[in-house]
């Protein structure tokens, strides 16, 4: 966890909402110089801070509307700090909680050097990253529909399906598959929605492939050197990381990607693990997916995972493989070297 501890003349904490902002500005001695509610508009925010922006830092808690505030600060050369929502327990754990109290707490944490920082993702790559995240969301919806068809087959105790529903020709065989009309109607609905998602996903992937401006083409090609990492998966990893230099150690990167569990200890006793929701869920998914794809047509990797499975179980073995791939990605991007299968096991 990193804290913002630079000194300024004024500290501005904002409790951020979609349509309103509660602004609290403290001077270097901790005295309130402004504390009021305003509309969430750039002109209103500028009017609120214009007397103090000669040496001002603005902090907001990380939520979905922080983009425009960060862009506003960048445009007007004002220092901006994004507070990590899950670490800011001084706000969430108070006895009383409202916008006025929260804005004051943010400003106080900022002034005291105790505001936990989240990464401020650069504006130029933000929209592409969000589009890739949207594609992942739609892919999961499509997978849910396919799973529902398979579950219906089991629900009615029919022979196991040996079909890959990702292929259109295999879906056609499910027409009139069920004798009961209501069940067949449910399957037809799933199939039509899957076809709908297929069309839009193909359009999104074509757009990403043709128009995405890859920030670092060399790093992109280095990621593609990993077996199983294709066009979309490489882009997801690249855009979620953005800049590998923000991680000083491979352990920091593995923690950010949710590839390790953190131990809870007190008084020399282990109390389990914690922090499972702190980190980047999209990177966690990407490396879990990469672990499965890495095994396809890769006998050496399959043998390695089989040994791990005999010792730890299949699920743990795949988690270890995903962690190892995360470490590989860190080394590849840090050193700018291609994937080396001979060194993979020793990473």
Q: What are the pLDDT digits (tens) for 123-166?
A: 999 999 999 999 999 999 999 998 998 888 888 887 777 667 77
pLDDT the model gives residue 107: 96
Q: Is there a domain that residue 285 lies in? A: yes
Structure token digits, residue 161: 């399906």
Q: Of 78, 94, 116, which one is at a domain's C-terminal end?
A: 116
Q: Is there a domain that residue 103 lies in? A: yes
Please tell me whether residues 21 and 110 are part of one structural domain: yes
Q: Of 116, 141, 167, which one is at a domain's C-terminal end?
A: 116
Would you say 127 and 93 are in contact if contact means Cβ atoms under 8 Å apart? no
Structure token digits, residue 204: 């999104």
Please tell me whether residues 223 and 314 are part of one structural domain: yes
Domains of the chain: total: 3
CA distances from 235 to 130, 223, 250, 343 (A): 12, 9, 20, 24
More confident: 272 or 57: 57
Confidence of residue 252 (pLDDT cuts 50, 70, 90): very high
- For the chain, give the mean pLDDT: 90
pLDDT the model gives residue 123: 94
Q: Is there a domain that residue 309 lies in? A: yes
Please tell me whether residues 192 and 240 are part of one structural domain: no
Cα–Cα distance measured from residue 92 to residue 105, given in angstroms and rounded to the nearest whole number? 10
Cα–Cα distance measured from residue 80 to residue 342, given in angstroms and rounded to the nearest whole number? 45
Report the first-to-last Cα separation within the chain, whole angstroms: 25
**pLDDT of 180 higher than 90:** no
Q: Is there a domain that residue 315 lies in? A: yes
Q: Of 93, 116, 139, which one is at a domain's C-terminal end?
A: 116
**pLDDT of 78 higher than 80:** yes
Helix (H) or strand (E) holding 36: strand 32-39
Would you say 274 and 264 are in contact if contact means Cβ atoms under 8 Å apart? yes
**Burial (CB count within 10 angstroms: exposed 0-12, middle 13-18, buried 19+), residue 265:** exposed
Beta strands at 20-27 and 10-16: parallel, antiparallel or unpaired: antiparallel
Confidence of residue 347 (pLDDT cuts 50, 70, 90): low
Please tell me whether residues 197 and 224 are part of one structural domain: no
Please tell me whether residues 88 and 11 are part of one structural domain: yes
Which DSSP string corresponds to 39-51? ES-HHHHHHHHTT
**pTM for the full model?**
0.88
Q: Is there a domain that residue 182 lies in? A: yes
Please tell me whether residues 224 and 205 are part of one structural domain: no
Domain residue limits at 13: 3-116
Can you tell me the mean pLDDT for 21-46? 96
| 3-class DSSP assignment, residue 25 | strand
Cα–Cα distance measured from residue 16 to residue 23, given in angstroms and rounded to the nearest whole number? 9
pLDDT in tens, 41-59: 999 999 999 999 889 999 9
Confidence of residue 259 (pLDDT cuts 50, 70, 90): very high
pLDDT the model gives residue 162: 66
Would you say 58 and 51 are in contact if contact means Cβ atoms under 8 Å apart? no
Q: Is there a domain that residue 157 lies in? A: yes
DSSP for residue 75: H
Q: Is there a domain that residue 270 lies in? A: no
Matching residue, tokens 């791990």: 308
Would you say 336 and 313 are in contact if contact means Cβ atoms under 8 Å apart? no
């Amino acid at each position: 966890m990193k804290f913002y501890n630079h000194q300024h003349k004024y500290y501005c904490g904002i409790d951020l909402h979609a349509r309103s902002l509660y602004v609290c500005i403290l001077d270097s001695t901790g005295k309130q110089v402004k504390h009021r509610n305003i509309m969430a508009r750039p002109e209103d925010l500028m009017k609120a801070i214009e007397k103090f922006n000669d040496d001002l830092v603005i902090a907001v808690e990380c939520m979905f509307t922080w983009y425009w505030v960060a862009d506003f600060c960048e445009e007007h050369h004002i220092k901006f700090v994004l507070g990590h929502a899950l670490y800011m327990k001084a706000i969430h754990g108070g006895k009383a909680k409202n916008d006025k109290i929260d804005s004051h707490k943010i400003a106080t944490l900022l002034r005291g050097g105790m505001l936990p920082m989240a990464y401020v993702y650069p504006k130029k790559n933000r929209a592409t990253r969000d589009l890739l995240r949207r594609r992942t969301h739609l892919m999961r919806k499509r997978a849910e529909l396919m799973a529902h068809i398979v579950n219906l087959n089991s629900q009615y105790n029919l022979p196991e399906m040996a079909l890959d529903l990702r292929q259109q020709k295999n879906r056609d065989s499910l027409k009139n598959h069920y004798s009961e009309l209501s069940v067949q109607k449910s399957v037809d609905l799933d199939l039509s929605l899957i076809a709908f998602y297929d069309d839009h996903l193909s359009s999104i992937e074509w757009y990403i492939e043709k128009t995405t401006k890859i920030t670092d083409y060399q790093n992109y090609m280095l990621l593609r050197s990993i077996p199983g990492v294709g066009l979309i998966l490489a882009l997801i990893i690249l855009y979620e990381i953005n800049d590998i230099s923000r991680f000083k150690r491979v352990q920091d990167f593995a923690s950010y990607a949710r590839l390790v569990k953190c131990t809870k200890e007190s008084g020399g006793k282990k109390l389990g693990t914690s922090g499972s929701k702190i980190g980047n869920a999209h990177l966690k998914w990407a490396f879990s997916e990469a672990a499965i794809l890495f095994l396809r047509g890769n006998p050496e990797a399959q043998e390695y995972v089989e040994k791990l499975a005999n010792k730890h179980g299949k699920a743990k073995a795949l988690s270890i493989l995903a962690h190892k791939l995360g470490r590989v990605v860190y080394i590849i991007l840090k050193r700018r070297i291609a994937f080396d299968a001979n060194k993979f096991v020793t990473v």
